[in-house]
């Protein structure tokens, strides 16, 4: 944690890039612009919070000790830090080779983290499913990269942008579709979402929390950079494709979340739905609200979803259950925990003055500004649908009597992580001005050399 916080110093030293056009280093393969710096800071903060929340999880006795995880606690943090490094590289990759290497770097460490409870069959299943699906998605994505290279003769996104206008439109559509397979895998986008519920359920809960925000944020950073920098100059209508994937992801994620009784599976399907909401931003990129909309939504979602998973960690540790029904009477057994979970559930729904409301407002305004009225209507309808399963968690905590009245103890590490995420969620909703200013400044991509 100390090392990560120290890493914020040189990263923040690049904050001047937020207000400059940006540049590239390492022979044009690595972008230094406000967009990259924003996602680097986000990746470091998310990794730090997950490490903080993991300390008590791996030191608690019980299933994790039986699964052999306690004996390898140090390696767990090492893998998390390496994954954070991969996320940082993904956010700034400006060359297809570096994009491929950074995505694979993150994927390989994530496979190990998902299967970290070696004595737990569900964790083993999660790691294997994640690996098999990820390997297939990567292979398809690399084929898309090879097509794009063949069409333009370069792996640099900026050189591709100069030559892509002369490429055959049909071949370009195929390349984009194949690349979206790899990007869609990282962000849990339909139809590349199948791994998400099983991996979130079987993986250690801190790992599920990390995958739900870290991989998703970096995946969106890569997707937007490749599409806006390299594909958009061709004049190809990628907006219709992304908007369609957005609508399908919202509907499928929300409808499959409705019957879930396991909190981690519910949050997994919720994550698929939020991927759909976030896809509105690339579809509406270039609009006044579209440019900062993705950054605001990602930031708010990071605080909110990490917080929800951190509550799940506490309940999993103390009650050894991830069943939503076991949250019964939490308002009496752990009032502060119930209040913070309520904040996170309302925020995920998009109810003001919570943080995700600000992100949803911006992406909906961007869709309307880009004349994607139907997509905005789909997003509003799905927000209403999501209220049912988010409100169900609140109902169980406050209206269902507990089986026992024993107080739920919260370890100080998790309490600290929860406090940070709750403050972040509320601050973005109650005092959004500095966050909006930051997002507007950081949303400017380096579009050409």
For residue 103, pLDDT over 50 is answered with yes
Instruction: List pLDDT tens digits, range 277-294.
Output: 999 999 998 878 888 999
CB atoms within 10 A of CB 123: 25
pLDDT at 20: 64
The more confidently predicted of residues 440 and 247 is 247
Model confidence at 245: pLDDT above 80: yes
* Contact yes or no for 309/270 (Cβ under 8 A): no
Reply yes or no on whether the pLDDT at 68 is more than 60.
no
Over residues 226-242, the mean pLDDT reads 91
The DSSP output letter for 253 is H
pLDDT for the residue 71 = 66
DSSP E strand boundaries for 41-107: none
pLDDT confidence of residue 34: 84
What is the chain's mean pLDDT, rounded? 90
- pTM (2 decimals)? 0.94
Token digits for 126? 């999660």
- pLDDT (0 to 100) of residue 16: 65
Distance between CA atoms of residues 239 and 153, nearest Å = 25
State phi, psi for 30 to the nearest 5 degrees.
-135, 115
Helix 373-399 to helix 355-369 angle (10° resolution) is: 160
Q: Which residues of 67-81 are buried (b: 16+ CB within 10 A; e: fewer)?
A: bebbeeeeebbebbb
Tens digits of per-residue pLDDT, 173-221? 999 999 999 999 999 999 999 999 999 999 999 999 999 999 999 999 9
Q: pLDDT for 349-365, tens place per residue?
A: 999 999 999 999 999 99
Give CA separation, 192 vs 61, 83, 181, in Å: 36, 21, 7
At 60 the pLDDT is 65
What is the spatial distance between Cα 141 and Cα 125, in angstroms, rounded to a whole number? 24
| Whether 225 contacts 94, CB under 8 Å | yes
Give the range among 9-18, 120-129, 196-205 with minimum mean pLDDT: 9-18
pLDDT of residue 61: 46
The CB-based long-range contact list for 11-19 (8 Å cut-off, 24+ gap) reads 11/37, 11/40, 11/41, 11/44, 12/41, 14/40, 18/438, 18/441, 18/442, 19/441
Give the model's pLDDT for residue 142.
95
- What integer pLDDT is reported at residue 362 of this predicted model? 94
Looking at residue 15, what is its pLDDT? 66
Q: What is the mean pLDDT of residues 93-100?
A: 94
Average pLDDT over residues 424-429: 95
Geometric angle at alpha carbon 363, from 352 and 219, rounded to 5°: 110
CA distance linking residue 216 with residue 226, whole number of Å? 15
Domain residue ranges in the chain: 2-442
SS3 311: helix
Residue 447 has pLDDT above 80, yes or no: no
**DSSP string computed for 371-436:** T-HHHHHHHHHHHHHHHHHHHHHHHHHHHSPPS--PPPP--HHHHHHHHHHHHHHHHHHHS-HHHH
Beta bridge partners of 262: 323
Nearest to 447 by CA among 16, 22, 89, 15: 22
Adjacent-strand bridge partners of 323: 262
The pLDDT of residue 27: 87
Backbone dihedral angles phi then psi of residue 32, each to the nearest 5 degrees: -120, 95
Banded pLDDT at 64 (limits 50, 70, 90): low
Say if residues 296 and 378 touch (Cβ distance below 8 Å): no
Per-residue pLDDT at 58 exceeds 70:
yes
State yes or no: pLDDT of 152 exceeds 90.
yes
Percentage of residues of the chain with pLDDT beyond 90: 73
Mean pLDDT of the 339-357 span:
94
Q: Give the phi and the psi of residue 95 in degrees, each rounded to 5.
A: -140, 140
């Amino acid at each position: 944690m100390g090392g990560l916080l120290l890493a914020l110093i040189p990263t923040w030293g690049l904050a001047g890039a937020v207000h400059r056009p940006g540049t590239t280093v390492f022979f044009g393969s690595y972008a230094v612009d406000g967009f990259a710096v924003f996602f680097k800071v986000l990746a470091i903060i998310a990794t730090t919070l997950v490490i903080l929340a993991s300390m008590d999880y791996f030191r608690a006795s019980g299933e994790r000790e039986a699964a052999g995880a306690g004996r390898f606690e140090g390696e767990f943090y090492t893998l998390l830090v390496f994954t954070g490094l991969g996320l940082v590289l993904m956010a700034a990759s400006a060359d297809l080779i570096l994009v491929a290497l950074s995505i694979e770097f993150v994927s390989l460490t994530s496979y190990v983290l998902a299967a970290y409870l070696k004595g737990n069959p569900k964790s083993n299943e999660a790691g294997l499913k994640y690996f098999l699906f990820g390997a297939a998605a990567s292979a398809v994505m690399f084929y898309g990269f090879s097509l794009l290279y063949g069409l333009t003769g370069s792996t640099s996104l900026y050189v591709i942008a100069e030559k892509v206008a002369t490429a055959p439109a049909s071949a370009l559509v195929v390349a984009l579709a194949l690349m979206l397979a790899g990007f869609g895998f990282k962000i849990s986008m339909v139809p590349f979402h199948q791994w998400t519920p099983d991996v979130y359920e079987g993986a250690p809960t801190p790992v599920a929390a990390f995958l739900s925000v870290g991989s998703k944020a970096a995946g969106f950073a890569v997707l937007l950079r490749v599409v806006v920098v390299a594909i958009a100059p061709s004049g190809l209508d990628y907006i219709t494709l992304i908007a369609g994937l957005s609508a399908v992801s919202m509907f499928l994620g929300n409808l499959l979340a409705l019957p879930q009784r396991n909190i981690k599976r519910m949050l997994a399907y919720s994550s698929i739905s939020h991927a759909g909401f976030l896809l509105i931003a690339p579809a509406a990129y270039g609009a006044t609200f579209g440019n900062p909309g993705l950054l605001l939504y990602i930031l708010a979602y990071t605080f909110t979803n990490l917080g929800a998973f951190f509550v799940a960690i506490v309940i999993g540790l103390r009650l050894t259950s991830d069943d939503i029904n076991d949250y019964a009477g939490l308002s009496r057994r752990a009032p502060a925990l119930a209040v913070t979970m309520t904040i996170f559930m309302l925020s995920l729904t998009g109810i003001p003055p919570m943080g995700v409301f600000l992100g949803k407002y911006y992406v909906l305004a961007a869709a309307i500004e880009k004349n994607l009225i139907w997509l905005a209507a789909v997003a509003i309808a799905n927000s209403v649908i999501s209220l049912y399963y988010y409100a169900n968690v609140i109902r169980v905590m406050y209206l269902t009597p507990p089986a026992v009245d024993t107080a739920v103890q919260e370890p100080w590490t998790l309490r600290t992580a929860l406090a940070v995420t709750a403050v972040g969620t509320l601050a973005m909703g109650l005092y959004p001005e500095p966050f909006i200013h930051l997002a507007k400044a950081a949303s400017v991509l380096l579009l050409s050399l």
